[in-house]
Every structure is written in C-alpha cells, then in structure tokens.
Amino acid sequence: MKNIHNHPNYWAFIMHRLSGLALAAFLPVHLYVLGLALADSSAFDDFISWSNTPLLKFLETGLVVFLSAHLTGGVRLLALEFLEWRDWQNSMVALSCGISICAGLVFFLNAT
C-alpha cells in the first residue's frame, strides 16, 4: 500500500481507537452480566454456559487482546509524551503488539 498512513505509529493509533471503542461498547454488557449474578443467578448461570461455546471463547480472546493492546498502547503513549524522546520509541509499537498477542494466546490456551 503506497499510502501516507502505512507506518507502524499510525497502525498503533488505529488499534488504540478501535480497541478503545470496542472496550467502551463491551463495558455496559460486562456490568449488566455482573448485575445478573446479583439479581437473578439462574439467568447468570444460563449466560455463563452460553458463553462457554468456542465462538464466544474466540470472541473473548479478541477482547483480551484488545484490552491488553489498549493498556500497553496507552502506556506507550504516556511514555512517548511524558518521557524525554528516545529513539527506541518505535520499538514500543512492536512491544505493545507482542505483549497483546501473548496475552491473547495465554487466555485462549487456558480457555480451551
């Protein structure tokens, strides 16, 4: 792609946006399900068994990757903007990417 946007820091920006939006959308669902556990424990158990399907596990893995990407990406931005500039800052994109993929893998292997 010969595009002005095709560089690691831009992809990091897009990932941060997308994961932020996805997590924001997920949060109400998360709180609602937790609320179920208090209000109606059989509905909660139903939900948990429904969420035990492989598809859901796969989606949850995605969520874990997003969470971890948002976290490490956020730390990356803080380091970028609050520490003196270091030339290794480009490696932080790769580092944040790597940590997120590892987190996803660990979750997925544990879940299956």
Two tokens, residue 8: 């690691």
Q: How far is the CB of 5 from other proteins (least distance, A)?
A: 7
Is 18 a binding residue for other proteins by CB under 8 A? The answer is no
Is 91 a binding residue for other proteins by CB under 8 A? The answer is no
Site string for other proteins, 70-89 (x = CB under 8 A): -------x--xxx--x----
Is 52 a binding residue for other proteins by CB under 8 A? The answer is no
- Residues at the site binding other proteins, with contacts judged by CB under 8 A: 2-5, 7, 9-10, 13, 77, 80-82, 85
